[in-house]
Amino acid sequence: MAMQAQPDLSKMSLEAETYTSTGQFSKAEELYKRMIDITQHHEGPESTSRELYNLSAALINQEKYKEAELTLRDLLIQLTGRLVDGDSGHFLEQEAGAVGLLCHALKGQGKSEEAEMLEKNAADQQKQLQARGNAYGLSQL
């Protein structure tokens, strides 16, 4: 019985990035969703942060703000739940970026007050991320 080959995620990622850079956000969205499904199946849901982040950006570019909000909230739960170690710098930066995207998604839905509150807390969050990073020797944050 032949094993089915895992799709090449790096090729899919490049293709999705090309779609994004050329404004074909619905095609990028479709690819990111496929990549999330594949990654969850092979590596587990905790390995999908990059794809969730990129999917959220594609959704925002299509003005699908509610779906982007839900995706970003899931992503933030995933990112804040990670253990911080010497390899976590990019996750901490992604956490801050996800908060920025979430503010955009909230504003797109007319939730300006919630977005403003989140933006005000972003500086505090950045300080917390810096402290978390410093505690683990990630001074470049």
Nearest in space to 36 (alpha carbons), one of 24, 47, 23, 20: 47
What is residue 38's predicted lDDT score, i.e. its pLDDT?
93
Domain assignment present for residue 44? The answer is: yes
Q: Using DSSP, state whether 117 is helix, strand or coil.
A: helix
What is residue 131's predicted lDDT score, i.e. its pLDDT?
74
Which CATH number fits the domain that encloses residue 28? 1.25.40.10
Q: Using DSSP, state whether 23 is helix, strand or coil.
A: coil
What is residue 133's predicted lDDT score, i.e. its pLDDT?
66
Domain assignment present for residue 63? The answer is: yes
Query: Which percentage of the chain shows pLDDT scores above 90?
Result: 53
What is residue 125's predicted lDDT score, i.e. its pLDDT?
66
* CB burial readout 49-68, b (16+ within 10 A) else e: bbbbbbbbbbbbbeebbeeb
> pLDDT tens digits for the chain (141 residues)?
444 556 788 999 999 999 999 999 999 999 999 999 999 888 887 788 889 999 999 999 999 999 999 999 999 988 887 766 656 666 677 888 899 999 999 999 999 999 999 888 877 767 776 776 677 665 554
Q: Name the token pair of 117.
A: 């509150």
Give how many domains the chain has, as a whole number. 1
Domain assignment present for residue 30? The answer is: yes
Domain assignment present for residue 92? The answer is: yes
Please give the residue range of the domain that contains residue 54. 12-81+88-135
Q: Name the token pair of 138.
A: 């990630």
Cβ distance 12 to 35 under 8 Å? yes
What is residue 1's predicted lDDT score, i.e. its pLDDT?
41
Domain assignment present for residue 140? The answer is: no
Nearest in space to 88 (alpha carbons), one of 34, 28, 35, 46: 46
Q: Which amino acid belongs to residue 84? A: V
Domain assignment present for residue 3? The answer is: no
